Amino acid sequence: MKKFDGFLAGVNLGGWISQYRIASKEHFDSFITEADIAQIASWGMDHVRLPIDYMVLEDDDKPFEYKEDGFAYVDSCIRWCEKYNLNIILDLHRAPGYAFHTLNENKLFEDELMQKRYIGLWKAFADRYKNYGKNLVFELLNEIVEPDSTRWNKLSKRAVEEIRSIDKDRVIIIGGNNYNSVHTMHELDIIDDSNLVYTFHFYEPHIFTHQKASWEPLLKDLEFEVPYPSGKEVYEAYLAKNEEFRNKYPYSGIIDKEYIRSRLKPALKFAKERNAILYCGEYGVIENAPAESKLKWHKDLSDLLIEYGIGRAVWSYKLMNFPMVDKNSVVVNKDLIEIVSKKNN
């Protein structure tokens, strides 16, 4: 399988200029600094994925007017990455009219003005960074959730065409429907472009990676710890009394490395059929999970992705319930850092 050279082991910078608690200059100036990028490089990683919310760059009441103070944070991150020999992915995590966590409010796929604003942002990115080399990559949109892939196929092709009108060779990352699921990648239309990479996110089994997550109604009050690896007996009593849980988080057999391998198969099949490059843009385990189990899961997934030549970026660098470092940028678990920074087995 073709590798995504220069993007084999990385980390997400969630919570900085995306999914932030408070949109303040104090937060944006301090959450991620040059010292953080230097630390990531010291781990042996080769890239970062930078989630970006459009509101940092454009106000809803001033569409198509781009904020230099917002772009300055992106510019700074790119500059720091250059200094410490890290590559960078610019991930539009939230777009005008779309966010993966506000599904009932989304209008992007039905509102032409929102689509023009979305395309406009990508043209602004393309023009601003057209002189950068392959160390800088664009990711069109984070975690699409649609009834099917029809409208996303149409909009993503428009975005690629508009970027190409400015920058012919920039690597562009496209993800599938249903939160970048491996199971929807085959629905993506074929685009005749040799500089595309296809991304998926991996948090399986969800009952393990998101156990006791406060934002998950069926998991926040989970009455037991979920280990990894584990067997079917761990869940049976709970599943027996909660049919909704069973339907949302189906489970059977042993959860182990071979289970993870089986869940990667749709992505591998897609890559073989399309002769495509794959990238795992997010993976991780919530801090609530048992510490030893968390290490074992990360090791098994990382080893498999390395085996298949698939680059990856762990979620997430700082805080965000999946931390590599605490609020003061102090490493939470050195063994975890070693696992997620590996580039070869």
Query: Is 143 an annotated catalytic residue?
Result: yes
Give the DSSP letter of residue 331.
Answer: B
CA dihedral 313, 171, 184, 182 (to 10 degrees): -30
Asked if residue 209 lies in contact with residue 202, where contact means CB atoms within 8 angstroms, the answer is no
Strand ranges in 13-77 using DSSP code E only, listed in sequence order: 47-53
Instruction: Copy the structure tokens of residue 298.
Output: 């990360």
CA 102 centroid distance within chain: 17
Asked if residue 134 lies in contact with residue 152, where contact means CB atoms within 8 angstroms, the answer is no
Instruction: Please name the residue that has the structure tokens 């700074």.
Output: 76
Among the listed residues 58, 139, 204, 282, the single catalytic one is 282
Asked if residue 93 lies in contact with residue 52, where contact means CB atoms within 8 angstroms, the answer is yes
Per DSSP, the residues of 163-215 read: HHTT-SS--EEEE-HHHH-GGGGGGSPP---TTEEEEEEE--SHHHHTTT-TT
Helices (H) and strands (E) in the chain, counts: 12, 8
Asked if residue 191 lies in contact with residue 152, where contact means CB atoms within 8 angstroms, the answer is no
Q: Could you tell me which residues come within 8 angstroms of residue 184 by beta carbon, excluding any fewer than 6 positions away?
A: 149, 176, 177, 178
Phi, psi (deg, nearest 5) at residue 255: -95, 110
Element holding 50 (H helix, E strand): strand 47-53
Integer Cα distance of 176 and 266 in angstroms:
12
Instruction: Copy the structure tokens of residue 32.
Output: 């991620």
Integer Cα distance of 110 and 287 in angstroms:
37
Integer Cα distance of 55 and 20 in angstroms:
11
Among the listed residues 58, 143, 146, 204, the single catalytic one is 143
Active site residues: 143, 282
